[in-house]
Amino acid sequence: MATLRIEGVRKSFGNTPVLHGIDLDVADGEMIVVVGASGCGKSTLLRIVAGLETPTEGHVLIDGRDVTPLEPADRDIAMVFQNYALYPHMTVFENMAYGLKIRRVPKDEIRRRVEEAAALLELGPLLDRRPKQLSGGQRQRVAMGRAIVRHPKAFLFDEPLSNLDAKLRVQMRAEIKRLQRRLAVTSLFVTHDQVEAMTLGDRLVVMHKGRAAQVASPMEIFERPADTYVAGFIGSPSMNLVGATLVENGAAAALPQGGPVIRFADGIRPGGNGRALTLGIRPEHLVLDGAGALPFALDLAEPLGSETVLHGRLPDGTALTVRAQGGVPASEGLTVAIPAESLHVFDAESGMRLDPA
């Protein structure tokens, strides 16, 4: 397989900058997931790696070789698209074999590779069908098979599951993960779905306004988000963000409108008083009717069986989401406590994470 390196990639369309200097190293056999909201530049980055867009600045290297000036066909990569991009007049076998045929691979070798990939993807009985006779999941597997038979140095996935229904997406996520592990192929996967990102990636690149806000393992990003954007984007329901003020020379935070003072286990540095903070707390870490609790005005309860997601407001109007075990509680007289040990602390002005001294 191969390594992939992205060095200082910038891209502008006219006077509009889209990417602001992306640096990324993808190890041999690693699955990197690029995740972010629509318009953050993730698909543009993938298209630059594929050779479908030319960077304004920077380089793309595969196995140490600068492929930036090369055409897509000369980069030895395979791309799986959102819309499958299958030829409707060809059978499954012909779709999977087409890329090898135009490269003049011998017929026996083509058949061997296609049948091998079809067995891997459980497509054997479907090789004589045309795309219109297949389900969405089967078409996606054909698109993956077409990439696999080429034995490329790297796979690029452009939101390949977004056209599937919810149940099928879960199945295909597991299938892609299994295949990527089995084939040990270097992969770059683009998605706007943070659940896909968390389950598929060895590491994530969280994109925000054309920049890589954080590059780390899924659990590191979940447990130690670099800024308030990452904190609010990764996690479902998303992290609560509450304004506060640093007090007691960095040892505690005061919530607004006479709310309680939350003392940190370790002080925040630099200390001082009056610094504006943003406190992050996951919905599952909030405690209903706990000690030192705040009044919680319930707006909406979403019963999900074993748990209930509660949407409401604190006295100052701050929106808050609570994930509670069991059924829907009474809507009146609720309070919620914020455990200090589960807090994430950010600077309110920059949005960047503040760690204990």
Domains annotated for the chain, with CATH where assigned, are 4-232 (3.40.50.300), 237-347 (2.40.50.140)
167-182 burial string, b = 16+ CB within 10 Å, else e?
eebeebbebbeebbee
Overall average pLDDT of the 65-90 stretch: 91
Overall average pLDDT of the 200-209 stretch: 96
Is a pLDDT exceeding 90 seen at residue 248? no
Is a pLDDT exceeding 90 seen at residue 207? yes
**How do 65-66 and 57-62 pair as beta strands?**
antiparallel
CB of 118 within 8 A of CB of 96? yes
With a CB cutoff of 8 Å and minimum separation 6, the contacts of 89 are: 130
Q: Which residues pair with 295 in a beta bridge?
A: 335
What digits encode the pLDDT tens for the residues 43-74? Answer: 999 999 999 999 999 999 999 999 999 999 89
Q: Considering only CA atoms, which of 276, 314, 279 is closest in space to residue 295?
A: 314
Question: Which single residue is written with the structure tokens 């140490």?
Answer: 64
Q: What secondary structure letter does DSSP report for 300?
A: E
Overall average pLDDT of the 224-232 stretch: 95
The band of 167, judged by pLDDT with boundaries at 50, 70 and 90, is confident
Please state, as a whole number, how many other Cβ atoms lie within 10 Å of the Cβ of residue 11: 23
Rg of the chain's alpha carbons, rounded to an integer? 24
What digits encode the pLDDT tens for the residues 274-332? Answer: 889 999 999 999 988 766 678 888 899 898 888 899 999 988 888 999 998 877 777 77
What digits encode the pLDDT tens for the residues 108-149? Answer: 999 999 999 999 888 999 999 999 999 888 998 899 899 999
Rounded Cα distance between 147 and 155, Å, is 7
How distant, in Å, are the alpha carbons of 51, 67, 260, 293, 338 from that of 263?
52, 53, 10, 14, 11
N- to C-terminal Cα separation, the chain: 43
Question: What secondary structure does DSSP assign to 212-235, as a single string?
Answer: EEEEE-HHHHHHS-SBHHHHHHSS
Residues in the chain: 357
44-82 burial string, b = 16+ CB within 10 Å, else e?
bbbbbbbbebebeebebbbeeeebbeeeeeebbbbbbeb
Rounded Cα distance between 204 and 215, Å, is 6
Look at residue 293 in the predicted model and tell me its pLDDT: 73
Q: Give the tokens for residue 51.
A: 């050779």
The band of 260, judged by pLDDT with boundaries at 50, 70 and 90, is confident
Rounded to two decimals, the pTM is 0.89
Nearest-5° Cα angle at 305, 304 to 307 = 70
Look at residue 340 in the predicted model and tell me its pLDDT: 86
Look at residue 156 in the predicted model and tell me its pLDDT: 94
The band of 93, judged by pLDDT with boundaries at 50, 70 and 90, is very high
Q: Give the tokens for residue 260.
A: 């309680």
Q: What secondary structure letter does DSSP report for 338?
A: -
Overall average pLDDT of the 7-27 stretch: 95
How distant, in Å, are the alpha carbons of 181, 185, 215, 254, 284 from that of 195?
19, 22, 16, 33, 17
Rounded Cα distance between 58 and 41, Å, is 15
Rounded Cα distance between 302 and 304, Å, is 6
CB of 144 within 8 A of CB of 165? no
> For all residues of the chain together, what is the average pLDDT?
90
Q: Which residues pair with 205 in a beta bridge?
A: 34, 215
Overall average pLDDT of the 4-23 stretch: 95
Rounded Cα distance between 152 and 247, Å, is 57
Q: What secondary structure letter does DSSP report for 248?
A: G
